[in-house]
Structure 1
Amino acid sequence: MSEEFIREVDEDLRHQQLATFWKSYGKYIIATAVAIVLFVAGSQGYKKYTESKYLEVADQYTKALENIQSGNQQQALAALKALADQDVEGYKVLSAMQRAAIHLNNGEKTLAVGILENLSKSSGVSDFYKDLASLQAATILMDEATYEETTARLEPLLERGNEMRYLARELLAMSAIQNGDTEKAKVLLRELSEDLETPEQVKFRANQLLTVIE
């Protein structure tokens, strides 16, 4: 058995490991972010609204989710779009994310990214939610974007003090791997692993991924 053949097999196995890793952990990034929005939506909602008004908006969102689960996508999209006119910031964000998810599941990636990009530029949304939308858009486009394109999207999130910086750096490392630059990925992942402020889940994934590419 030739050395070249063994090298090719080893490379194929590493690619399979990377694919499995991203399938297992990649979506966790967005799931975590959405959980944060749900929490903040509730806490901020009560500050801005009476309990009855807030519960009304929450009920509208719940009904939209029920339509999604029942397969009534058009009704769900209409209900979610109506929530964009409500002055409860968290639910405006969640409605946009759900609409993007519906389009993404239907293979309408351009529409999904468009919704998120609009959210990231909205004047009525805080920077935290804008950054979250940018992170999700970059995640959707990662498979087809160059490392430079992903960097351009994530650059504002990488600044020190930004709440999304660790997730952004993790995604940037995945983009480097996706585009064949494992050395750049190693640098980014080691930085995440050695940074004392890196969240434990992000640090865990960084260490796991390092074992695959080193």
Structure 2
Amino acid sequence: MSDIFREIDEELRRDNLLKLWSRYGRYIVALAVLVLVVAGGIVAWRDHQLSERRAQSMRYSSALSLVREGKDAEAAKVFALVAQEGGGYSTLASFEEAELLAKSGDHKGAVAAYDRIAAKAGIDPIFRELATLLSVMQG
């Protein structure tokens, strides 16, 4: 006798689940697809950011190699490019560019480069103050 009640109960549950699925199934599938698309987008964006940081790191590293080889003019151009890109190496590249300009005797260019660093709003105040000090020392 209890088997009949159990079977009836299982049938009712299955019918209720089928009704729920027929009513909300497409929303559940749409939500699952949306979650997958958002997760894929996040992964793609992080991968893109990582590749951009790696590329900037390689450019900065190549500029340092040019400095070691004594090709200061070429290195200053690469540092200027990295500085304009923004990102983590921007401030370092700006200081390197200004230093190379000062080293080559272009004191006006070095002062201008240091002044650009000092005028940047998004960097730490200590770097802006250092750039101001170095600019005064060059001028």
Q: What TM-score range do you get, normalising by the shorter chain?
A: 0.5 to 0.7
Q: How does 1:88-127 map onto structure 2 within 5 Å?
A: 88=87, 90-127=88-125
Deviation for aligned residue 1:80: 1.0
Unaligned runs of 5+ in 1: 1-48, 142-214
Give, as a single letter, the amino acid of the residue that structure 2 aligns with 1:64.
Answer: A
Give the SS at the match of 2:132: helix
CA distance in 1, matches of 2:85, 2:138: 27
Deviation for aligned residue 1:50: 3.9
Give the SS at the match of 1:123: coil
CA distance in 1, matches of 2:103, 2:80: 17
Q: Which residue of 1 aligns with 2:4?
A: none
Give the SS at the match of 1:133: helix
Determine what percentage of the aligned residue pairs are the same residue: 20
- Alignment CA distance shift 1:106-1:74 (3 Å): closer
Q: Which residue of 1 aligns with 2:63?
A: 64
- Quote the RMSD (CA, aligned, Å): 2.1
Deviation for aligned residue 1:102: 1.1
4+ aligned runs moved over 6 Å, structure 1: none
Deviation for aligned residue 1:121: 0.9
Deviation sequence 1:97-118 (CA, Å, 0-9, x none): 1111111111222211111012
- TM-score, structure 1 as length reference: 0.38
CA distance in 1, matches of 2:111, 2:118: 10
- For these two proteins, the number of residue pairs brought into alignment is 92
Q: Which has the larger radius of gyration?
A: 2
Give, as a single letter, the amino acid of the residue that structure 1 aligns with 2:110.
Answer: A
Deviation for aligned residue 1:91: 1.4
CA distance in 2, matches of 1:85, 1:108: 20
More helix by share: 2
8 Å contact 2:56–2:82 — kept in the other structure? yes
Deviation for aligned residue 1:87: 2.7
Deviation sequence 1:165-210 (CA, Å, 0-9, x none): xxxxxxxxxxxxxxxxxxxxxxxxxxxxxxxxxxxxxxxxxxxxxx
Q: Which residue of 1 aligns with 2:39?
A: none
- TM-score, structure 2 as length reference: 0.56
Give, as a single letter, the amino acid of the residue that structure 1 aligns with 2:64.
Answer: L
CA distance in 1, matches of 2:74, 2:63: 8
Give, as a single letter, the amino acid of the residue that structure 1 aligns with 2:107.
Answer: K
Deviation for aligned residue 1:85: 2.5
Q: Which residue of 2 aligns with 1:75?
A: 74
8 Å contact 2:76–2:101 — kept in the other structure? no
CA distance in 1, matches of 2:125, 2:63: 26
Q: Which residue of 2 aligns with 1:195?
A: none
Unaligned runs of 5+ in 2: 1-47
